[in-house]
Structure 1
Amino acid sequence: MKYAIVEISGRQFWIETGKYYDFNRIPTDLGKQITLNRVLLLNDEGKVLIGQPYLEKVQIKGKILEHLRGKKTIVYKMRPKKKTRKKQGHRQDLTRVLIEDIIVS
């Protein structure tokens, strides 16, 4: 099983080929190809490569499937004994990316 750990938009993801992942909004058009090059770790059938901090020879090709919004999270702030309450909702803008290939050069 071939997988990689990638840093994208400040977070780290365990990436496998043929699966799709939801990242923070990437401002590109639908159907375009993107390249992820901040690869921290690569496991290629038991052969493990670890970057310092990134692997320069590894690229991950992906295709943007859709732009969507995440589930609503409720932020509720209350100060006790002050009669102060604030309820606020938030939906994160996301981009769904299909991982097509992990390329080691």
Structure 2
Amino acid sequence: MIESQSILEPLKTAQHYTPRSARELRSQAVYRLQVGLFGLCAMLLIVGLANVIRDRLRLSESADPIQQVVAVDAKPTKAASDPLADIGVVPSADTTTRSKPSPIPDAEMTDEPGAPVAP
């Protein structure tokens, strides 16, 4: 049986730092490079797999005949409107709902009391 006191005894002498050899430094650098490249390859595979899944979903959604039937029977929905564009704070992005500007009435044709009279 191993003596437990010899294992647990505190160090009685100072431990000196020994610098790593060139071989140890090189092996550590190669190990870090391997881990980095493995991580990079793993991320590329995950992104590629996600891209394939997204493309398959897009193809399956467009080819679904049930969605086409539901889309024909559905009531048309009102397009989302921009409240700031509705009140005139910002220009509207939708070009189909542009209204024609109202013509400014000619001052001669108005019956307002302060309107100038043509000579």
Which TM bucket (shorter chain)?
under 0.3
Larger Rg: 2
- The structure whose RCO (Cα within 8 Å, separation 6+) is larger is 1
Which one has the bigger helix percentage? 2
The two structures have a TM-score, normalised by structure 1, of: 0.17
The two structures have a TM-score, normalised by structure 2, of: 0.16
